[in-house]
A and B are shown apart, each in its own frame.
Chain A
Amino acid sequence: MIAELAIKLGVCALVLGGVLNFAGMQTWLERKQSALMQDRIGANRAYFTLPWRWAAPINWLLRKLGGLGILNALADVVKLLTKEDFIPAAGDRFLHTLAPWLSVFFALVAFAAIPIGPPVELFGRSIPLQVANINAGLLVVLALASIGTYGVILAGMVSGNNLSTLGGLRAASQMLAYEIALGVSLVGVVMWYGTLDLQVLVERQGALLWGWLPHWGIFVQPVGCLVFMTAALAETKRVPFDLPEAEPEIIGYFTEYSGMKFGLFFLTDFVEVVLVAALTTTLFFGGWQVPYLSPAGWQFPWSQAVLPVSNLAYVVWGLVSFTAKVVAFIWFFMLIRWTLPRFRYDQLMDLGWKTLFPLALVNIAVTGVLIMLARGSAP
C-alpha cells in the first residue's frame, strides 16, 4: 500500500515537474525563438552573481546562462512574486482570487491521463508511466481542458471591468466554437483505434502499416489531425486565436490582475501549450512509440533480424521519444504564434463553425467508410 502510494507520488512528481519545467522554459523559448525568427538577439542580460570567492565557477556559469537569457525566467518569477497583488474595488474578492487557480488547476490535472512512457518493470512490479489509468482518458482530458476555460470566463466577469468582461465573453464563445470541432475531430481517431484509453491508443499506434509505415494517427487521420491542431491552438488562447486577450483591442480578461495571480494565467497559457503538444503527440504521432521499436527490440523493415533491448532501455527510449515529440510541437506552436497575425472575430467564428466543424463531420463519414472497406485487413 505504502509502496504503491510512493510509486504513484513518484510518477506524479515526474509528470508535474516535467510539465512545469516545460511551461517555465517556454518563457525563455518565447523570447529567444521570436528573436531568432526576427533576426534579433533576444534576452541576454539578466544574471546575478554570488558574493563569495568560492562561488567563482558558479558565477561563471550564471554569467553564461544570463548570456543565453535563461535567467530571465527567474527574474520574471521574482518580479511577479514581489509585485503588489491588487484586487479592484468593483471586483469580487473571493472569485477574483479563485479564477486563476481554477484556470491553472484544470490545465495541470489534465496531464493525469496522458501516458508519458511504456510500463516499466521494476522490483517485480509493472509501473505504468501514467498518473491515472482512466479507461475513458480521452474524454477526461477534453472535459478538464474545457473546465479550465471557466477560470478565464470567471476572471473576466468578476474583475469589475467592462473590457475584461468582454474578454471573458470572447473566451466563452471561442470555446464553444472550437470545443465542438475539437471533440468531433477526435471521433475519427477513436473509431479507427477503437479505444478511449490513451495508453491503449498509444500501444495500438506501435503497429506497422504494410510492414513499413508506423501506424500513427497522422497517417490514418490527416484531416482529423489538421482540425484537431487548429482547434487545440484555439483552446490555448494564443495568437492567432488570442481573441480573449487581444492587447490592441481589449486588454483581455486578466486586465485587473497583477503579481502572481497574473503569473498563474500566464503559466496556464504555457501549460496549455504543453498539454496540446502532448495530446497531439499522443493521438496523432504515436505518443511514446519509437518507429520500429517494440518491447522485443528493434526490427527494421529491410531485415528480419531483431535487435533485443532491455525493458529499461525500452522505457528510456519511450520517454525520450515522447519528450522529443512534445518539444518539437511546442516549437512548432511557437513558430505559428510568432508568424500568423490574429484572426478577426468573424473570421474566427467562420473558421470554427463553417470550416472546421463540417470538415470534422466529413472526416467521421470518410473514416467510417474506410473502416468498412478495410475491415478484416486493418491492423
Chain B
Amino acid sequence: MSGTLSERLLHRLRDAHKRRPLTWWERSYLPAIAQGLWLTSTHFWRNLFLHVAHRVGLFRHLPAAVTIQYPDEQRRTERRLRTRHRLTRRDDGTPRCVACMMCETVCPARCIYIVAGEHPDPNVEKVPKSFDIDLGKCIYCGYCVEACPEDAIRMDTQRHDIAAYTRDGMWLDIKELLRPGSRQPAEPPQKFVQLELSEFRALPPTPEPQQPADAPPA
C-alpha cells in the first residue's frame, strides 16, 4: 500500500462495498456461530453473577441490567430537557406574560391559544386573560420559550408523564400552567378559562419545579 493515510482510508472506503469471497472455514458458519455464542454467554454469566451478588449486597455499583423499572424508578433527566410548559409569575402572583403573542405566532404546531386583556399598570403591556396549550398538538420544539421576551414561559417542569383518556384531557389551562401539577388526573381542564388580576393574585404560590442534579462527570 502506498500513499498517505487519508488516501489509504479513502481506498478502503471505496472498496467497502465489494464483497470479499469467504473462505471455506468462514462458509461453514462455525467461527461466526462460536463468536456469537461466546458473546451472548459472557453476557449471560456476567449478569447472572451480578444479579446474585446484588441480592447479597455486593458489586452494587455494577448494574446487571440496563432496565429502568419505569413507574417505580424514573430515568434521570438532564436539566436542559424540554419538558411540560409552565408560566412564570411576578412577585404579586400575576403572570409574567404580557400577551405579546410571540409564542402563539412562532408555534409551528399552533397549539397555543392566548386571550389578551388590559393591565392597569402602564409599565406592563398587557396580561393574558386565558392561556391554553394543547399538548395533543405540541411537538416540544421549545420555540415558545426561545421567542418569549419576558421569560414568561419555560419548559423546565421535568414532567413528561403526560397522558389522558380524552383529547380534551391533553389541554393545559392557565391555572395548570401557572401551578403545574395542581390539577388532579381525573379532573377535566378548564379550557379557555379567563381569570381577572385579582383571581391571579388569589392563586396559591407556585413552588419552583424540582430540578435534577447535574450529571456527575463521566
List residues of A whose CB falls within 8 A of some B CB: 33, 35-41, 335-336, 338-340, 355
For B48, the chain A residues whose CB sits under 8 A away are 36
Residue of B36, B37, B67 touching A40 (CB-CB under 8 A): B67
Within B1-60, the residues touching A (CB, 8 Å) are: 28, 33, 36-37, 39-41, 43-44, 47-48, 51
Determine if B37 and A335 form an interchain contact, defined as CB atoms under 8 angstroms apart: yes
Assess whether B66 is interfacial by the CB under 8 Å rule: yes
For A336, the chain B residues whose CB sits under 8 A away are 33, 37
Assess whether B65 is interfacial by the CB under 8 Å rule: yes
Determine if B65 and A339 form an interchain contact, defined as CB atoms under 8 angstroms apart: no
For B44, the chain A residues whose CB sits under 8 A away are 33, 36-37, 335
Docked complex Cα distance between A37 and B36 (Å): 11
Q: Please classify the interface of chain B as helix (H, G, I), strand (E, B), loop, or mixed, using the class held by over half of its residues.
A: helix
Contacts A/B (CB < 8 Å), 10 sampled: A37-B40, A39-B43, A39-B64, A41-B69, A335-B41, A335-B44, A336-B37, A338-B40, A339-B33, A340-B33
Determine if B40 and A41 form an interchain contact, defined as CB atoms under 8 angstroms apart: no
Residue of B33, B37, B51, B69 touching A36 (CB-CB under 8 A): B51
Q: Which of A33, A37, A340 has the most C-beta atoms of chain B within 10 angstroms of its own C-beta?
A: A37
Determine if B66 and A339 form an interchain contact, defined as CB atoms under 8 angstroms apart: no
CB distance from B19 to the nearest CB of A (A): 16
Residue of B28, B36, B41, B66 touching A39 (CB-CB under 8 A): B66
13 extra interchain contacts, Cβ-Cβ under 8 A, other than A37-B47, A39-B43, A339-B36?
A35-B65, A36-B47, A36-B48, A36-B51, A37-B41, A37-B44, A39-B64, A39-B65, A40-B66, A41-B67, A336-B37, A338-B40, A339-B37
Known: A35-B65, A36-B51, A40-B65. Is A340-B36 also a contact (CB below 8 A)? yes
Docked complex Cα distance between A338 and B37 (Å): 9
Within B47-105, the residues touching A (CB, 8 Å) are: 47-48, 51, 64-67, 69
Docked complex Cα distance between A111 and B44 (Å): 30
For A338, the chain B residues whose CB sits under 8 A away are 40
Nearest neighbor of B42 in chain A, beta-carbon distance: A37
For A33, the chain B residues whose CB sits under 8 A away are 44
For B39, the chain A residues whose CB sits under 8 A away are 339
Determine if A38 and B43 form an interchain contact, defined as CB atoms under 8 angstroms apart: yes
Closest 10 CB pairs of A and B: A36-B47, A41-B67, A339-B40, A37-B40, A339-B36, A41-B65, A37-B44, A36-B44, A39-B66, A37-B43
CB distance from A359 to the nearest CB of B (A): 10
Docked complex Cα distance between A36 and B65 (Å): 8
Docked complex Cα distance between A335 and B69 (Å): 25
CB distance from A335 to the nearest CB of B (A): 6
Nearest neighbor of B30 in chain A, beta-carbon distance: A226
For A41, the chain B residues whose CB sits under 8 A away are 64-65, 67, 69
CB distance from A43 to the nearest CB of B (A): 12
Determine if A39 and B47 form an interchain contact, defined as CB atoms under 8 angstroms apart: yes
For A339, the chain B residues whose CB sits under 8 A away are 33, 36-37, 39-40
Docked complex Cα distance between A336 and B40 (Å): 9
Nearest neighbor of B45 in chain A, beta-carbon distance: A36
Docked complex Cα distance between A33 and B67 (Å): 15
For A335, the chain B residues whose CB sits under 8 A away are 37, 40-41, 44
CB distance from B105 to the nearest CB of A (A): 46
Docked complex Cα distance between A33 and B45 (Å): 10
For A35, the chain B residues whose CB sits under 8 A away are 65
Docked complex Cα distance between A267 and B28 (Å): 32
CB distance from A224 to the nearest CB of B (A): 16
Nearest neighbor of A35 in chain B, beta-carbon distance: B65
For B41, the chain A residues whose CB sits under 8 A away are 37, 335
